[in-house]
Amino acid sequence: MSKNDRYVVKHGKGWAVKQGGVGTPESVHRKQSNAERVAKDTVRDLGGGEVRIQDRHGRFRDSDTVAPGNDPFPPRDRK
């Protein structure tokens, strides 16, 4: 896990952007799409990494590599 990685997780009635290993969210948003956009912008500004996105049931549904990060499975990542 890189220090640049971010997670979009359910937070009360909204969605939070969190860094791994840190309990306090960086930001909280009403819509998941807004939280995802902020997480990707943050990771891009930090030099690249992974953004992992949870569904409303707490399971990770998607993981995106943000450039210039290193995607370990580029042929499979078609989203």
Amino acid at the residue 63:
S
Judge whether 35 lies within some domain: yes
22 within domain boundaries: yes
How are beta strands 6-11 and 49-54 bridged, if at all?
Answer: parallel
Please report, as a single letter, which amino acid is at residue 49.
G
Split into its structural domains, the chain has a count of: 1
pTM of the model: 0.82
Helices (H), 1-79: 32-45
Mean pLDDT, the chain, rounded, equals 88
DSSP letter at 21 equals T
CA–CA gap between residue 36 and residue 79 (Å, rounded):
14
Q: Which domain holds residue 30?
A: 6-66
Q: pLDDT, tens digit, for every residue of 18-54?
A: 998 899 999 999 999 999 999 999 999 998 999 999 9
Q: How far apart are CA 45 and CA 53, in angstroms?
A: 19
Would 71 be classed as within a structural domain? no
